[in-house]
Structure 1
Amino acid sequence: MHHRTLGKTGFSISEISLGTWQVGGKWGEPFSDATADAILDAAVDAGVNFIDTADVYGDGASEAAVGRLVRRRSERIFVATKCGRRLQPHTNAAYQPAALRGFVEDSLRNTGLDTLDLVQLHCPPTNVFYRPEIFELFEKLREEGKVQNLGVSVERVEEGLKALEYPNVATLQVIFNLFRQRPAELLFPEAKRRNVGIIVRVPLASGLLTGKFGPQTEFAADDHRNFNRDGTAFDKGETFSGVDYTTGLAAVEELKAVFPGEGALAAAALRWVLMFDEVSCVIPGASRPAQLVSNAAAADLPALTVGQMAAVRDVYQRRIQPLVHQLW
């Protein structure tokens, strides 16, 4: 496993790391603590040393699983969690320092850790980025030893650019993949200039870029790929990167011709993300240990060729860009 520096945190983290939305369940599959523990142990065995979780994943179950992992392993594992999405309603007015402090303290209890390596605001409403008192809170929490670093998970490029104006923002988490290429244009260079680490989520477009889905694929009732295609539950861009499912399938068929072979597209999609030097790590999820092992192997693939990069860009420009590029 290769490592990159996570911006101004100074952490040396695995290029392929792990996102744990699935580890808390809620992806339409039965889940248990044993399954979560097996996935997390497989991650560390594969060289992963950075785990991204959130307090809302399984209502704290994911954070608890990550905490168990840290306590039973001897390796240095960096823990990143998120806060804010528990606010009901999830509005700018609901974002108050006292509420966020309570969420951080809950995360400490959930994980059983004394300090959190990274706490990220969890895709807050855009107006929150214009409130310095929210960002000042995390400086106080850092001084108290409860958190080591502050990051922000964003939906839109414009939110990321605003977050970069705060000196204590050490990381940005953003969707970036073959179907979501806009962040590379302006956000990545500006983050690099400010030494802010980039954490890439949803690299496989909710599984669409695995190439395993088809027109007849069915998703469970409680799987967001079933109920959130129109953005009725949360930002539409989180599900299939906001791409219409049928359009995405057509683009995937073209990409399979660029990267032929069983499982080749998923691996190439992860390797494509790592072609961008500004990226600190990519955090695909895993519902079982085998997926984790397969994802981790993508870090060792050779760099994509000039021809492959051009072919990816062509598919994006023709099929995807007109529909989603300016939305996020």
Structure 2
Amino acid sequence: MHYRRFGRTGWQVSEIALGAWQLGADWGSVTEDEALATVRAALDRGINFIDTADVYGDGRSEQLVARAVKAHGRERVYIATKAGRRLNPHVAEGYDAPHLTGFVERSLRNLGTDRIDLLQLHCPPSAVYSQDATFAALDELVRQGKLRHWGVSVETVEEARRALAHPHLASIQIIFNIFRQKPAETLFAETAARDVAVIARVPLASGLLTGKLRRDTRFAADDHRQYNRHGEAFDVGETFSGVPFETGLDAVEELRPLVPAGASMARFALRWILMQQAVSCVIPGARNPAQAEANAAAADLPPLSEQTLAAVRSVYDRRIRPLVHARW
């Protein structure tokens, strides 16, 4: 495993981290034993950064991550969680000090700790980025010792750029993958200049970039790839990166010859993300130990050639850019 500096925090985090959404909900059933074994496998491979959220299984993911990390006994593991999506209705006005404090207190209990390493606003309404009181509340939680740092998880590049105006921002989590290349064009230079960490999420486009999905693939009823195809439950960009399923499959077939011999499509897709030095870590999810171990192995692939990068860009420009670039 290789490690990168996590912005102004100074942490050294594994460039391949673990996304724990799958361990909570929305990806089909994962048993408690499978979840604990998955986290353990990630830690065994050198992963030291785990991303979760209070709404992943209504706290289940936070609780299982905490149990697995404690049982493993690794000296330092950074756990990032998120807050805000428990609001009902999910409106900007709810991102105030009382609600944020309540969410943090609940996550502290779920994580079994007295201080959260990194709390991220969980894709809040765009108006939140103009609410100084929201960010003052986060600063106060840091002063109280309940948070070490805070960041934001955003849907769009424009939201990320607005977040950068807040001086104590530690990190931005954003969708970045072969099918969502806009951040590299319009955001990463700014995050680097401000020493803000970047967490790349949805790196495999909800499984499209594993190369294992087919037109006849069927998903469980409680899998967001079944029930959120058109944004019925949350932003459609979180499902297949907003790319129509069949279009994504066609693009994957054009990408397949670019995968180095002996590597999987998933490892190739993760290595493509790591070619961007502004990315602090990438957070592929995993439902079992084998997936966690395979994701971690992407860090060992050699850098991709300029010719390969150009070919990937060509696929994006022709097949994907018109569908997603202006939207997010």
The alignment's TM-score, normalised by the length of structure 2, stands at 0.98
Cα distance in 2, alignment partners of residues 120 and 25 from structure 1: 19
1:100 equivalent in structure 2: 100
Amino acid at match of 1:256: R
Q: CA RMSD in A?
A: 1.0
One-letter amino acid of the structure 2 residue matched with residue 103 of structure 1: F
- Counterpart in 1 of 2:44? 45
Tell me how far 1:263 sits from its aligned partner.
5.5
Residue 223 (structure 1) aligned with residue 223 (structure 2): yes
Distance in 1, matches of 2:268 and 2:229, equals 25
Q: Distance in 2 between matches of 1:131 and 1:327?
A: 23
1:54 aligned onto 2:53: yes
User: After the TM superposition, which residues 246-261 of structure 1 pair with which residues of structure 2 at under 5 Å, given as runs?
Assistant: 246-259=246-259
Question: Letter of the aligned partner of 1:135 in structure 2?
Answer: F
Corresponding residue SS for 1:155: coil
- Which residue of structure 2 lines up, in the alignment, with residue 187 of structure 1? 187
Residue 95 of structure 1 and its aligned partner are, at CA, apart by 2.1
Q: How far apart, in 2, do the equivalents of 1:261 and 1:252 lie?
A: 16
Structure 1 residues 206-217: aligned runs within 5 Å: 206-217=206-217
Count of residues paired in the alignment? 327
Give the structure 1 partner of residue 2 of structure 2. Answer: 2
Q: Which runs of 5+ in 2 are unaligned?
A: none
Alignment of 1:128-277 (within 5 A): 128-259=128-259, 264-277=264-277
The answer for the alignment partner of 1:318 in structure 2 is 318
> How big is each residue's C-alpha offset from its partner over 1:260-295, in whole Å with a ceiling of 9 and x where there is no partner?
667621111000000001000000000000001110
Q: With structure 1 as the length reference, what TM-score do the two structures score?
A: 0.98
Letter in 2 for 1:144: Q
Q: Which amino acid aligns with 2:50?
A: I
Q: CA–CA distance in 2 between the matches of 1:212 and 1:140? A: 46
Kept in 1: contact 2:53–2:82 (CA 8 A): yes
1:97 deviation in Å? 1.7
Note the C-alpha offset of 1:186: 1.8
| Most deviating of 69-78 and 167-176 | 69-78
What residue is the counterpart of 2:26 in the other structure? 26
Quick check: 2:39–2:69 contact (8 Å CA) kept in 1? no
Cα deviation, residue 46, structure 1: 0.3
1:219 to 1:261, Cα distance in 2 relative to 1, 3 A: farther
In structure 1, stretches of 5+ residues that fail to align are none
Query: Which residue number corresponds to residue 70 of structure 2?
Result: 71
Percent sequence identity over aligned pairs? 57
| CA contact 2:260–2:268 (8 Å) conserved in 1 | no
Post-superposition Cα deviations, 1:104-154, rounded to whole Å, max 9, x if no partner, equal 010000111111110000000000000011011111111111000011000
CA contact (8 A) 2:259 2:265 kept: yes
Residues in 1 aligned to 2:149 and 2:45: alpha-carbon distance in whole angstroms: 25
- 3-state DSSP class of the match of 1:207? helix
**Equivalent residues of 2:275, 2:304 under 8 A apart:** yes
